Structure 1
Amino acid sequence: MEAALFDAATEFDRQLDRLVELGYPALADLTEDTFRDLVAPLRAAAVAGAAELPAPTDARVPFLLVITRDLVPVEDRLALTTLAGKRKPGFLDRHYAEGDLPRFDPIKELEVPAGPAYLLFDVDRGEETLNLAPSAAMEVITGQDRLPLTIDEGLAFVTLHPAALAKNKCFSLVGSRCDDKRVPAIWISQGAPKLGWCWYGNPHTWLGSASARPERVGLA
């Protein structure tokens, strides 16, 4: 079967247009033109980094344009996520205490670029790690020379590719941790994306661990 045609520049434009359509510029207190100009330098890097990568599927995509909490708060971005073909907005699990989210930072293995936006490449929702505890999934992921996703990256995945989040194909975000055994995860609840958390040592049949290539490309 002939591989699907994939144009990285067109895909970058689609992702940027989607963020604008959802209202990201206003949430960042920027005009649309300023927001577009801010992330535009990443377009060439997306084209270069996605070279030879296959076209997006529900399970795996060549790259994501990641907007960080430095520009738009997590809960604001979460509220703009939906399941594919649905309208109910994403929401935060009630088990997050007030002030909890800012405590979850990228793990030391990740080199996340500073600033408001960056690119992540070869992103996979982690079906092969379904029913593996995040602790075991980390061994699988790092054994493939890959690294897990952060909260910011997981939100970008579901925002820009809603079909990535599907029944029994949800994913942990092991790249964001605080000083305890909790691991953030995105799953489906009440017909919408839900940002919750699970324990680092507990497996779930419906929950894998998303991963990507280690390198992240920022604006600097």
Structure 2
Amino acid sequence: MLTDEFDRQVENLVDKGYPDIAGLTKEEFKQQLEPLKDRVKELEKLKKEPQAGYVRFVIVVQSDWVDGEKAMQLVKRNNKMGFSVMDADDIKRFKPIEGIELPTGIAYLAVDIDTGKETLNITPNEAIKTIKEKHRTPLTLEEGIALITHFPDILQKNNGFSLLGSRCSDRRVTALWISGGKPKLGWCWAGNPHTWLGSASCGSRLGCD
């Protein structure tokens, strides 16, 4: 049941200390997320065969409540904690690109996620064209961190993914990959291909409304 997976993700966030960071009690935090459970129930009827690099949904906590730097430090994969080569101020410069409207509220669901194996070794500039042609939307920086927060093993050595849904005023795109055995948030140039980086996308975003 997808609702069981929703409950698992909520507890995962609680265990990692998200309520404290957001300035809420555990009960208040859970109450804020509870309306999303009804949206998860809507996904039960959408049948799709599981495949490598695919996830039905993840709970994404908005950066106004838990910023990207803190969230990345709470990622844990094989007993190794995540880290970022970007400082908090630099991360905050990356905002959703034109055409991406995030739901309101403390959190929302990113649905029908694909980490982009078919875009390995394709430049982000070209990959975003492919994503849009399929009527999908690139993952934002926060959505990428949420994905590996809930599914850390989806991040594989030599198979990370770029987060083209967030950009600042330069030619960089943020990306997640394994470095020294640890989950890493870094960046690459939008015009450069990498054999070990795809570009992640989702089908939709669902809020409480």
| Same fold flag (TM > 0.5) | yes
**Structure 1 residues 113-155: Cα deviation after superposition (integer angstroms, max 9, x where no partner):** 1332001110011100000000111111111111100011001
Q: Letter of the aligned partner of 1:188 in structure 2?
A: I
Instruction: Say if 2:208 is the partner of 1:219.
Output: yes
1:194 to 176, 184, 188: 184
Q: Is the 8 A contact 1:173 1:183 kept in 2?
A: yes
Q: Is the 8 A contact 2:55 2:114 kept in 1?
A: yes
Q: Letter of the aligned partner of 1:63 in structure 2?
A: F
Q: Which 4+ runs in 1 deviate beyond 4 A?
A: 55-58
Instruction: Say if 2:165 is the partner of 1:158.
Output: no
Looking at structure 2, the residues matched to 58 and 20 of structure 1 have their Cα atoms a distance apart, in angstroms, of: 27
Number of the residue aligned with 1:4: none
**Structure 1 residues 159-210: Cα deviation after superposition (integer angstroms, max 9, x where no partner):** 0011110012100000000011100001111211111000111000000000
Looking at structure 2, the residues matched to 68 and 209 of structure 1 have their Cα atoms a distance apart, in angstroms, of: 21
**Using a 3 Å threshold, how does the CA distance of structure 1 residues 54 and 91 change in structure 2: closer, same or farther?**
same
Superposed CA RMSD in Å reads 1.5
Number of the residue aligned with 1:3: none
Number of the residue aligned with 2:5: 11
Looking at structure 2, the residues matched to 147 and 50 of structure 1 have their Cα atoms a distance apart, in angstroms, of: 21
**Using a 3 Å threshold, how does the CA distance of structure 1 residues 24 and 53 change in structure 2: closer, same or farther?**
farther
Query: By how many angstroms is 1:28 displaced?
Result: 1.1
2:34 to 40, 43, 54: 40
Q: Is the 8 A contact 1:125 1:210 kept in 2?
A: yes
Query: By how many angstroms is 1:87 displaced?
Result: 1.4
Q: Is the 8 A contact 2:54 2:113 kept in 1?
A: yes
Query: By how many angstroms is 1:219 displaced?
Result: 2.7
Number of the residue aligned with 1:63: 57
Q: Is the 8 A contact 1:107 1:175 kept in 2?
A: yes
Superposition pairs of residues 53-202 of structure 1, within 5 angstroms: 53-54=47-48, 58-83=52-77, 86-93=78-85, 96=86, 99-202=89-192
Q: What SS does the corresponding residue of 2:101 show, helix, strand or coil?
A: coil
In structure 1, the gaps of 5 or more residues are 1-6
In structure 2, the gaps of 5 or more residues are none
TM-score, structure 2 as length reference: 0.95
Query: By how many angstroms is 1:70 displaced?
Result: 1.0
Query: By how many angstroms is 1:55 displaced?
Result: 6.5
Q: Is the 8 A contact 2:155 2:177 kept in 1?
A: yes
Identity score, percent: 45
Instruction: Say if 2:25 is the partner of 1:31.
Output: yes
Number of the residue aligned with 1:210: 200
Query: By how many angstroms is 1:51 displaced?
Result: 2.6
Q: What SS does the corresponding residue of 1:25 show, helix, strand or coil?
A: helix
Looking at structure 2, the residues matched to 53 and 177 of structure 1 have their Cα atoms a distance apart, in angstroms, of: 32
